[in-house]
A and B are shown apart, each in its own frame.
Chain A
Amino acid sequence: MTLLRSTRNPTWRRFLPLLVILGLVALVVWRMLYLGSVGERFNAGFFLRAFIDSVKLGSLYALIALGYTMVYGIIRLINFAHGEVFMVGAFTTYFLFTITPYALPAAIVMAIILTFGLMRVVELFRGSMRDPIVLGVGAIGVVVLTVALSAFTWPFWAAIVGSMLATGVLGLSIDRVAYVPLRSAPRNSLLITAIAVSFFLQNVGLLAFTNRQTPFRPDTPLTTPLAFEVGGAPVLTNWLLVAIPVVTLVLVIALTSFVTRTRLGKAMRASAQDAEVAQMMGVSVNKVIATTFLLGSMLAAAGGAMWGLNFGSLNQPAIMGILPGIKAFAAAVIGGIGSLPGAVIGAMIIGFSENFLTALFPRTPTFLGITEFKDTFAFVLLILVLLIRPSGIVGEDLSEKV
């Protein structure tokens, strides 16, 4: 076995990734030192801020990219509407912590949606909607949630959880209404439908939520300031610096263990490998696909809430989801589409290219900086990766596909 591998991969080739990474790090350090000698402004604090921003942004992209990569892994669909699902998640969070308590009719409708999401989540572990525990959760959930929605102002964490459930239901219904009838259709039709769904959600969001930029400042300890010094340079930030990567990490670990440890997760992996054969082996592929939509949308909703927290406001619905969505898709492709760790790696690369790279080429008296172009980096990287290594960094055959 080792012999086989060494004939396929010469020694230098095995160390190539390491060499590339080391080379990149060396270039970055050299550039940082050079900039430090050019201007007083470019001290350790400047680069640390950029580093923090990159990690935060990368984590947010990772939460969105996981949804893309799971769906693509199984039905080979670029779920164009995923960016809009992310947008809906952010706005649902907003409407859960700002305008609660609701009027009773609205509270009942919302409670039904949330309970349905809750039942689907419990069902993941119980196997059937008719399970007594699932039904019990449903019965108690409707009552409790109706009371909670019509009587209390929701704290931020509850708003996030509620939004994840509601957005999960949205993902399920998108799958049911738009994608299930097209399971056997050509892939271009599926993609066009996804674009239509995305456009639909944008405009419904514009109609139902708001049509302008919305401040997003929940009452939470996460946004309390955090100041420290690095090498004599002060860095002023807030606790989101810790919270966003930690939340992402927890959710990614939860997802990975779901995929590797549970029966349904095993079914997901089987469907990703070969849906037809999995179906023959008794896997209900439609249910697996619905599950990926549920989980992906829930992660996107968490990402949306964190996004609002990070930037302090939400863009108007028609444009909020497009760029983050498409960049997260680029991240999934760069990492290797269909792979969970790949999506996280790709998202980090995009996050760093957007914040750290622009910090490495900042505005100086002689140079205008590259901040203007940062939205195009994801596309350029996407095109380069597709042309050079279409299987992405964590190639398909090396990784676990979901």
Chain B
Amino acid sequence: MARIVTPTAFDAIDPKKRVRNVALTFLAVGVGVLVLYLLEGIGSTKLVQALALFAIWGVATVSLNLINGTLGILSLGHHGFMLIGGYTTGLLMLDEAARQRILTSARSTMTEETLALSVSNLLRGFGLEALTTPETLWVRFLIAIFLGGLLAAFAGLLVGTPSLRLRGDYLAIVTFGFGEIIRLTASTRLFSAYTNGALGFPGVTSEFGKSIWWTFGALAFTVFVISKLKYSSYGRAMQAIREDEIAAQAMGVNVAYHKVLGFVISAFFAGVAGGLWVSWLGGVRLDFFLFQLTFFFLVAISAGGTGSITGVLLGTAVVVFVRQYGDPLEESYSIQTWLYIASATLALAAAGAVLFRTLRRLRPRLHWGSWVLVGGAAAAALVAAVDPAVIEGTFRGFGMRAIFLSVLLIVIMVFRPDGMLGRTEFSWSWFLREQRTGPTDEERTQDAWLSNPAFGSEAGRAAAREQELAEDDTDAPEGSDDEGRR
């Protein structure tokens, strides 16, 4: 007798809850759009730029997370793909005045043929004169970032096909190597006709990269595509590869295909992010695409939660905030001030250590390391307060933001390697007191070990009993055979 399992309050696929969640999501998006609209009107240029940068880097981190989080491969070559997308977009969207300037400049290495490459000329070639007016700049920009993404995806295919056969850390080094090769060869004479060598070129329109609507549109598109992918059969295959490559292969997952597919899609969005990034910067230069960029993305992913799209966006917000609003850290202060800052930092670190040890119930709560930190804090404060000699002079904390981010990454890796959200996605249930206390009935019945009647719920137990009965019925004649064999 089949028993109908009624959906419980904890059930993830309850249709009512689903409708509610979708409605809440739409509401949140609506509120978000409204807030963005208000911020664009009220907020300072700096804020708008920071928001745009958040969205651009969000595109990059969400796409990098497809490789690093969903596919479980550590890829360190994202800046290379962004470079390809960025240079393509930059070259195709260069305005006419800038082209003339480059053509007449003596140091430039670009030729007339490469400078003739632009979306306008392409559209003219197709006879679409209507799309080359200043009003339709956005169509050209769309085409340019799409082409940039395609080129980056092609590069991803070229890079991924041979290298994805390697395992773990070798693969990381090879992707790093490819990223650096892309950057190092971009300035050589193979490509300098397109990239203008080490000089790069200014004069890319920043109308789109600095617009909240364009960048957040791109981010929404990226999140939509990548989350759809994550929950599709492709995404599940990718997660299976992340968990155990050999087991996934044994279950019939085409490992190489899924890896290359993930890599190519990620490279496409990296190219799109590169195009927007170039537009945000208003020009192209080689040092806009250093390994540093990939490092920032790694910090964002690790801080937010590897594998979780919402977590990664949270991490990106942190990184962008530090980058855009951390400039007080890099200003020139007197050495006394710096000593006080150091003292406060050490004291905070000691407090954090005590808190951590308390929460983890480690004893003694005051580890000797904390005493060292406290001692250092006291010493720094003492020197600052007493010694007049060191108070003279100022010191500029050049690079403090990067130091802060790298320390943040080390701390996260040591104390919470899963990041803020781990692999879980944001869910409305967090706010509605619907914490799941255990697996759903469906999960219980699916899971062989948990469906053991001793562990299962009432429903699971009933299902197990039925199954047992059914097996007893069919196996009854063979049961004696079994015993005989034993």
Contacts and interface: CB of A to CB of B under 8 A. Distances in A.
A390 B170 CA distance: 9
Contacts, number: 121
A387 B162 contact: yes
Nearest to A205: B399
A207 B403 contact: yes
Interface string A206-229: 110001000000000000000000
Contacts of B174: 382-383, 386
A326 B403 CA distance: 21
Interface of B: 72, 74, 76, 162-163, 165-166, 168-170, 172-174, 176-178, 180-181, 184-185, 188-189, 291-292, 295, 298-299, 302, 397-400, 402-403, 405-407, 409-410, 413-414, 417
A322 B162 contact: no
Nearest to A179: B414
A207 B170 contact: no
A191 B399 CA distance: 23
B169 A78 contact: yes
A195 interface: yes
A77 B413 CA distance: 15
Given A199-B409, A387-B162, 13 more contacts: A191-B74, A192-B74, A193-B409, A195-B409, A199-B402, A200-B406, A207-B399, A322-B291, A326-B173, A382-B173, A382-B174, A383-B177, A386-B170
B410 A197 contact: yes
Nearest to B172: A191
B174 to A, nearest CB: 6
Nearest 6 CB-CB pairings of A with B:
A379-B177, A196-B409, A200-B406, A203-B399, A199-B406, A372-B188
Interface-centre pick from B174, B397, B413 (highest chain A CB count, 10 A): B413
A17 B417 CA distance: 45
Interface residues of A, number: 44
Interface stretch (A180-188, A268-276, A338-346): A180-188
Contacts of B402: 199, 202-203
B185 A373 contact: yes
Contacts of A326: 173, 176-177, 180
Interface in A237-262: none
Contact of A193 (B168, B184, B414): B414
5 contacts: A178-B410, A185-B417, A192-B302, A376-B180, A382-B177
A24 B167 CA distance: 31
A203 B406 contact: yes
Interface in A358-386: 368, 372-373, 375-376, 379-380, 382-383, 386
Q: Which applies to chain A's interface (DSSP): helix, strand, loop or mixed?
A: helix
A204 B184 contact: no
Contacts of B403: 200, 203-204, 207
A202 B176 CA distance: 17
B191 to A, nearest CB: 11
A197 B406 contact: yes
Interface-centre pick from B169, B176, B180, B189 (highest chain A CB count, 10 A): B169
A333 B174 CA distance: 11
A380 B181 CA distance: 8
Contacts of A379: 177-178, 180-181
B410 A193 contact: yes
A193 B399 contact: no
Given A181-B414, A192-B413, A193-B409, A376 B181 contact: yes
Contacts of B181: 376, 379-380
A211 B398 contact: yes
A203 B299 CA distance: 16
B250 to A, nearest CB: 21
A137 B400 CA distance: 38
A322 B291 CA distance: 10
Nearest to A198: B406
Given A196-B410, A203-B399, A191 B169 contact: yes
A62 to B, nearest CB: 19
A387 B166 CA distance: 8
B74 A188 contact: yes
Contacts of B410: 177-178, 193, 196-197, 200
Contacts of A318: 399
A200 B407 CA distance: 7
A373 B413 contact: no
Contacts of B172: 78, 188, 191
A394 to B, nearest CB: 17
Contacts of B166: 386-387, 390
Contacts of A189: 413, 417
Contacts of A266: none
Nearest to A380: B181
B295 A199 contact: yes
A106 B170 CA distance: 42
Contacts of A187: 168-169
Contacts of A352: none
Nearest to B396: A207
Nearest to A211: B398
A177 to B, nearest CB: 8
B180 A196 contact: no
